[in-house]
Structure 1
């Protein structure tokens, strides 16, 4: 009986035709990320090549080096960008260059093989000032975990101009916090592992640039001409940042309608829930085109944006929830970006 069942299973399996899936071979796509603002320079344009969805090299990013990169305004003035030879593919304007409100800017790129790319023109809009920055704790439930993740959400107060359509984009600027460690718990490295308490140092000022894991954008369709409070940034609590005092610069940009639509599509894609019913990742086209091959897909967007920023300090004693403290059993000076000297601009 067992033998008969086994033969029946083999026959059943052999009756199923294999399903063949044709996956389009990945194509290396030029990706452009760049922005000029009316703020101080230098301003950055990043060039890279990435592969389309389905490629065996999916996610692989290669910098594009040796290109000629310029920004041109509507008067014909040309600004040349120089490549950072230590970070290939990164091209910078001079430090003394700032774009001007009302001017129109176009990015032009020529690769080493002679292929030329251009952005569509972007006009730099004015930007309202940030009136105030508030903050609050945001908890994030974690499936299968009793304790949630958490962080601090920053909200900006703005006075939106009534006479025009406005599109906003916020990014996290430089941050700094008082880092507290436990040098008294230091142990010698293996194989010894013997306790070797250090006399210094417990407290440092640590600088860092926190990655933008989410995209914060808004348009004024629902608050045109009104005072509004809008979420502008989120910083994860890693058990170190919010032990004492934390500060961050919140950067606010006024962007074009086209740039807003591009960022909204990117935001929708990166915030997919991840279920089996979600569509596959798509290549979102921006405002870059190939002048030699008009049908070529070019990823990314070149923006001209009005810029303003404001600094805020977070006092840990005013937070209603924080993560358990992360213990670093060493001198705080061994942590990247940390120093014991109080910065001259530290003014809570």
Structure 2
């Protein structure tokens, strides 16, 4: 009886293995597009002369090489208020750099890229950032009244429409926490943003603890960049939810002047920013 049982088991395994087919699933791939990472961030207290623009091409989702540099482009930024032109030199690795950029609050800058016979353009205005008035820690404002949180406070100027971008990241974390802010309901007042971490094994997230260091970047941005960030963050935060819409490529402010069907990815921004750090006690 025992021998028959073993024979039957091997027979079942043989049938199972013999019926296994390899199914190749073809994943559709979109056209290769230019990706523009042009963030000209002027850190307060510095000259802001040294700036870098990253150019790459989009890659298939399952491609092992995630960054494919776009080389051989001609890249320039022009201050449209005074006509000053800044040429970004090709470093042959996707990086285009200049050491001559001059940031001026309130001035408008235009980006022009010539790449593989097509011309890409974008325009942004450099807005000021409000002063950070205080950075503190507490356990009062978050979801968990025992978890540490960092609080960043700033004073919004009255009677001026302002938009802000706040980026906070614990040094050992892979991803930052991003906040887009408009002063519609805080005009002329001091406002505080808190950042809290909750223990979550699924997300591999741990609460803040004494000694943790958080890097903080606070920027003044345009309304159009605020709206772009809102869509970007909303799409990122809803990813993986059962009823969330499928993610779609977000179109920034960069335009292909010669071939509108070949729209680039990415964004051209010009900002004034403040950077700081906070160490939990």
Alignment TM-score > 0.5, same fold: yes
Unaligned runs of 5+ in 2: 1-24
The match for 2:162 is 166
* Offset of residue 249 of structure 1: 4.1
The match for 2:137 is 135
* Offset of residue 247 of structure 1: 4.0
Structure 2 distance, partners of 1:302, 1:236, is: 36
Tell me how many residue pairs correspond in the alignment. 247
Q: Does 1:49 align with 2:38?
A: no
1:226-265 aligned within 5 A: 226-231=189-194, 245-265=211-231
Structure 1 residues 149-207: Cα deviation after superposition (integer angstroms, max 9, x where no partner): x986432111111111111112348x8xxxxxxxxxxxxxxxxxxxxxxxxxxxxxxxx
The match for 1:28 is 32
Structure 1 residues 204-250: Cα deviation after superposition (integer angstroms, max 9, x where no partner): xxxx6865433221111221111110136879999999776344442
Structure 2 distance, partners of 1:273, 1:71, is: 35
Partners of 2:75 and 2:112 within 8 A in 1: yes
Change (3 A) 1:125 1:239: closer
Q: Does 1:107 align with 2:111?
A: yes
Structure 2 distance, partners of 1:296, 1:154, is: 43
The match for 2:126 is 124
Structure 1 distance, partners of 2:168, 2:91, is: 23
* Offset of residue 295 of structure 1: 2.8
Partners of 1:170 and 1:232 within 8 A in 2: no
Deviates more, 1:296-305 or 1:128-137: 128-137
Q: Please give the root-mean-square deviation of Cα atoms over the aligned residues, in Å.
A: 3.6
* Offset of residue 263 of structure 1: 0.6
Change (3 A) 1:163 1:273: same
Q: What TM-score do the two structures reach when normalised by structure 1?
A: 0.61
Structure 1 distance, partners of 2:117, 2:26, is: 33
The match for 1:270 is 236
Change (3 A) 1:302 1:255: same
Structure 1 residues 51-109: Cα deviation after superposition (integer angstroms, max 9, x where no partner): 47xx6659944221222221111122111223445xx2122231x63411011111111
Structure 1 distance, partners of 2:210, 2:149, is: 17
Partners of 1:248 and 1:312 within 8 A in 2: yes
Structure 2 distance, partners of 1:235, 1:167, is: 28
Structure 1 residues 107-162: Cα deviation after superposition (integer angstroms, max 9, x where no partner): 11122x2322111x211111110001123469999xxxxxxxx9864321111111
The match for 1:325 is none
Structure 1 residues 25-57: Cα deviation after superposition (integer angstroms, max 9, x where no partner): 4211211112223323422322122247xx665
The match for 1:78 is 85
Unaligned runs of 5+ in 1: 1-20, 142-149, 176-207, 316-348
Deviates more, 1:129-138 or 1:74-83: 129-138
The match for 1:92 among 87, 92, 97 is 97
Change (3 A) 1:240 1:211: closer
Structure 1 distance, partners of 2:51, 2:247, is: 29
The match for 2:74 is 68
